[in-house]
Structures are given as structure tokens and as C-alpha cells.
Amino acid sequence: MKDIDVYRNALEVIEKCRDRATASGRTPDAVTIIAAAKTFPVEHVLPALEAGIRDIGENRVQEAEAKWSDHYIRNAIKLHMIGTLQKNKVKKAVNLFDIIHSCSSVELGLRISNYSQDKLFPILLEVNLANEPSKTGFPVSELVPAVEQLGQVPNLNLLGLMAIPPYSPDPEQSRPYFAQLKQLSDDLCSRYDFFGPELSMGMSEDYLVAIEEGATMVRIGRAIFGPRS
């Protein structure tokens, strides 16, 4: 990791996101960059904050708790849960994170609501666009019933949708899935006034394509921090 210039990488990602958002007819700041910090120590993440990134993504509750709960910069960042959330970790996740991207079932949404108590907790619904057995998330066919049910639950702020397309080294292979998620988002927003337009889609390999298709949040790890060991 000593040879990785995180500060420079972060600046490059910021510039690319701004340029692609502008080219897509949106404002330069239309896309939130979430620096995916899984497995990286805090000192490796700090240069990204110095470059201007303020949103940090973590995949595991226990790792995030150890890294950020008592850190002096915790109040200066927004912490996103972007990995699979286990049911027995929901209470800790609600107390630790600012946003959960991976609400993958109605049951999980109900648990988040129960532990949120009197605060409105922001979540995104994870969609399994390709019905991959290895991934969590709502099948497309179950999304509308889930939104209708969770929309009546207290303490939840349904910000929008999240998805991870099937892996491909060619970012163009992700485009149809991103376009599908954008269409699902548009349909839900037009149908339910409580449903938000946020679209968390795109990672290091395909985030520029995701922005072209309407991403409002991109989750970037390797392009900022380098390869994981």
C-alpha cells in the first residue's frame, strides 16, 4: 500500500465523476462518491478525506465499529453500510451507520425500523437484478410489494435503490442493469411520494457507465485505495 497515492487517486475519481455527471446533463456535484474502505486501515483512508471525500463505505459492521466508532473524525464523515447486513448485526448497524444501502428483505427493514426508535433511518433497497443465487436483494418481481409494505413502517426513510450487476471486466456489460435500475427507480418515484430517487450503483470497474445511466451514489474502493491484499 506504500506505493498507492490515495490522495491523487481520490482527486482523479472526483474529477472523473464531476466530468461524467456534467456530460450526462446533470450538475457536477450530482454524484456522491462513497470510498469503499473494506480491509483498509484508517490511516490508508485519511488521504481520501483530505482530497475532499466525506462518505465512507464499509462492508462489515464489526470492522466499521473497530475503525470508526471512537475515531476523532467520525463526526466529519458520513458512514455507509454497503455490504450484506446480517440480521443479528442490525442493532449495531443502526447505532453506527448513517445510511444502510443493503436492505435486502422486508424482515430486515422491519428490524431496522424497530431499532431506529424515534429517528427516521435512511435505507436503500437492494435489488438482485439478475436473480443471482450468490447475492442478496429483492427480486424485481417482489420490489413493489416490498415498497408498499415498508412504506407503511415507521422510522424508515426509503431513499432509493441499490444494486450490484453480475461481474464483468467489460463495464458495458453492466449498462443494461444500470438502465433497468434507473427505470425501476423512476417507476417507484412516480408511484409513491414517500420513495426517494437515490441510485447506489457502480464500482471501480463500471462507475462511469453507472453515472451515465443515472447513478447518484457510486461505491469506489480499488480505484481510490488500490488492490486489497
Question: Which domains are assigned to the chain?
Answer: 6-225 (3.20.20.10)
Mean pLDDT of the chain: 96
Model confidence at 98: pLDDT above 90: yes
In order of 4, 44, 123, 181, 216, the CA distances from 49 in angstroms are 15, 10, 23, 29, 19
In order of 88, 136, 149, the CA distances from 186 in angstroms are 33, 22, 19
Contact 65, 74 (CB under 8 A): no
Model confidence at 2: pLDDT above 80: no
Please tell me the pTM assigned to this model: 0.96
Q: Which of 20, 71, 29 is nearest to 53 (CA)?
A: 29
Residue range 22-47: mean pLDDT, rounded: 97
pLDDT digits (tens, 9 = 90+) for 76-85: 999 999 999 9
Residue 188's pLDDT band (cuts 50, 70, 90): very high
Taking the C-alpha atoms of residue 132 and residue 136, their distance in angstroms, rounded to an integer, is 8
Residue range 67-87: mean pLDDT, rounded: 95
DSSP state of 169: S
Model confidence at 213: pLDDT above 60: yes
Query: Which pLDDT does position 1 carry in this prediction?
Result: 53
